[in-house]
Structure 1
């Protein structure tokens, strides 16, 4: 392995350490509170990050793992925690605020323009069905039952 590949690998591992810090910060924000889900999501997070880490290592130097790469990865994590965290935290918070705002706005629009009119239409149809049931029973009573009882009534 020549010096150029070693430098590229060290740079990739430092950037993956920084990426790990950022992804871990984002994961802590969206981590579920229930204990059963925490285990599953933790395992998924670590598996996906390991795949990301070793995929980047494979692309840079054909997947050769050396102890110095873990040193560079740790240096990247420490760089994130020491220098970059205070710059990325407001960005991450703003990103999550924007995502929540967009979700609430889109769900509100869907609720106002789709769900509420459908519920109104269903309520109108149900009230029309009740009114038609009442009207039909009234018609049957007036047109059929009253004349029939008048015909069958004994004369005095």
Structure 2
């Protein structure tokens, strides 16, 4: 009898740990949502995948530990694990990791902008100078085109007279 109770106690502890693992998995999704913008459609897909993966995870745990038999204390163990994790650690982990990742992304953006700044300066400098040259060439093009039209008109008049 005591061996049976020991096995059930171990299973209860495993289900508590499973509840914590499911909470961590959901927090990974929450962190991803804070770092990368999501549409409602993608959020629904992520939630659906979360529940499918969590269900398969729990099924595998129960199948290996208890031959797939679902008992009340198994459900209570998972709920206790989830509640403990979300009450104690979830808020701090999600906020801390999200802020850290966003800070790293901001740093990377600043470094990239610092690296690209000389190139942007050179390109802007060239474009400014090119704009003046472009304006001169455009005026020259229009002048030449106007002169060619006059010549064409004169040639047509000469041809008609002949």
Question: TM-score, normalised to structure 1's length?
Answer: 0.57
C-alpha distance in structure 2 between counterparts of 1:81 and 1:47, whole Å: 21
Against the structure 1 CA distance between its residues 5 and 125, is the aligned structure 2 distance closer, same or farther, given a 3 Å change threshold?
farther
1:6-17 matches, within 5 Å, as 10-17=12-19
C-alpha distance in structure 2 between counterparts of 1:26 and 1:51, whole Å: 13
Give the unaligned 5+ runs of structure 2: 140-162
Aligned to 1:18: 20
Aligned to 1:127: 128
Shift of 1:120: 1.6
Against the structure 1 CA distance between its residues 64 and 48, is the aligned structure 2 distance closer, same or farther, given a 3 Å change threshold?
farther
Aligned to 2:53: 51
Q: CA RMSD in A?
A: 4.2
Question: TM-score, normalised to structure 2's length?
Answer: 0.56
Match of 1:67, SS state, is coil
Are the counterparts in 2 of residues 18 and 79 from structure 1 also a CA contact under 8 Å? yes
Aligned length: 136
Against the structure 1 CA distance between its residues 47 and 66, is the aligned structure 2 distance closer, same or farther, given a 3 Å change threshold?
farther
Are the counterparts in 1 of residues 19 and 79 from structure 2 also a CA contact under 8 Å? yes
Are the counterparts in 1 of residues 12 and 73 from structure 2 also a CA contact under 8 Å? no
Match of 2:39, SS state, is helix
C-alpha distance in structure 1 between counterparts of 2:51 and 2:67, whole Å: 18
C-alpha distance in structure 1 between counterparts of 2:45 and 2:67, whole Å: 25
Matched, 1:61 2:64: yes
The list of structure 1 runs, each at least 4 consecutive aligned residues, that deviate by more than 6 angstroms after superposition, is 3-8, 134-138
Are the counterparts in 2 of residues 13 and 76 from structure 1 also a CA contact under 8 Å? yes
Against the structure 1 CA distance between its residues 92 and 110, is the aligned structure 2 distance closer, same or farther, given a 3 Å change threshold?
same
Shift of 1:98: 0.7
Aligned to 2:89: 87
Give the unaligned 5+ runs of structure 1: 139-156
